[in-house]
Amino acid sequence: MIQKPKFEYIKNPIFVSYTSLKDFLNCPRAYYLKNIYKDPKTGFRLQIASPYLSLGSTVHDSVKWFLDMKGQATSDQLIQKFRNFWLKYTGKRGGFASREEEGNFGSRGLKMLENFYKNWQVLGKGAPAITFPKYPLLDNMVLMGNFDFVGEKTDGSLQIVDFKTGANDEKDPIQLYIYAILAEANLEKEVSAASFWYLDRDDAPKDIVLDPLEPKLEWLKEKSKELKQAIEGGMWVCIKGDQVCRDCKDYQAIIDGKGEFQFTDYRYKKDIYYLER
């Protein structure tokens, strides 16, 4: 089991999440543009509004609200909460190119919540909530995540469940391993199961084969070392060289003033822009 670490004060920590690590592995320069670069005028990072991100955020926020209510909410209340959350992302604010596109994504979200409400009791008892659990990897590199759901099984062990709103199954379960490491280290209980719940098509979470966590933790430390070296070296080269990958092209377009500012997300300190597709 991953032991609870000794937490010490870290000046200027670099947080490593599943999303930021994925960005780095896909393209170092895209990682820089998404996670390090800040608008010199506002001091905030940039984010391009996306229908898929808007759908995921709204469904996740709605499910979290329902779980926080401990099941003391009706289906109608859950749907109304979703509609209220959706107002934040309507139109270009959510990356939608048309009312039709927004309507299609909104309908998908409603179907996911209907499926979740019908089957949510399969989750069982939840473990104590932790907001943004952390684990020190090396030097000033800190692993961080945010659980969708951690359940307590009858034998006292834990089960990690991550809700998915995408159309395709996840090919790499490293996200679940990150959450399992964070759960064991912070809750001091063994994680015996980890699952993805594809809300648009499954009526229950789908378990992965959970391998030992220690080798995964060592892999994360190695990748964090590579990330640290890249940050210290400051050499942010696109994985496609002069051709430039899609993410680099889009975020550079925002920096060059080709995007349309929508709003500032003060919680995550990001300025959200709409970019025509």
DSSP string, 148-189: SEEEE-TTS-EEEEEEE-SSS--S-THHHHHHHHHHHHHH-S
Asked if the structure places residue 31 within a domain, the reply is no
User: Which residues of the chain are modeled with pLDDT < 50?
Assistant: none
Asked if the structure places residue 265 within a domain, the reply is no
Token pair 């933790």 is found at 217
Q: Are residues 141 and 104 in the same domain?
A: no
Q: Which residues, in sequence order, are CB contacts of 160 under 8 Å at separation 6+?
A: 147, 149, 150, 176, 179, 180, 183, 191, 193, 194, 195
Q: Are residues 128 and 205 in the same domain?
A: yes
Last residue of a domain, one of 95, 123, 151: 123
Q: Which residues, in sequence order, are CB contacts of 228 under 8 Å at separation 6+?
A: 14, 138, 139, 140, 141
Q: How far is CA 218 from the centre of its chain?
A: 22
Question: What domain range is 145 assigned to?
Answer: 124-232
Asked if the structure places residue 39 within a domain, the reply is no
Q: How far is CA 261 from the centre of its chain?
A: 23
Q: How far is CA 113 from CA 20, 95, 96, 162, 186, in A?
A: 27, 21, 21, 15, 29
Asked if the structure places residue 159 within a domain, the reply is yes
* Distance in angstroms (rounded) separating the CA atoms of residues 30 and 54: 20
Asked if the structure places residue 3 within a domain, the reply is no
Q: Are residues 106 and 194 in the same domain?
A: no
Asked if the structure places residue 153 within a domain, the reply is yes
Q: Are residues 72 and 128 in the same domain?
A: no
What pLDDT is recorded for position 11? 86
- The answer to whether 56 touches 165, Cβ cutoff 8 Å, is yes
* Distance in angstroms (rounded) separating the CA atoms of residues 185 and 27: 30
What pLDDT is recorded for position 166? 93
Question: What number of other Cβ atoms are within 10 A of residue 261's Cβ?
Answer: 15
**Which tens digits make up the pLDDT trace of 123-141?**
999 998 888 899 999 889 9
What pLDDT is recorded for position 126? 94
**Which tens digits make up the pLDDT trace of 149-193?**
999 999 999 999 999 999 899 999 999 999 999 999 999 999 999
The count of domains in the chain is 2
Asked if the structure places residue 186 within a domain, the reply is yes
Q: Are residues 96 and 138 in the same domain?
A: no
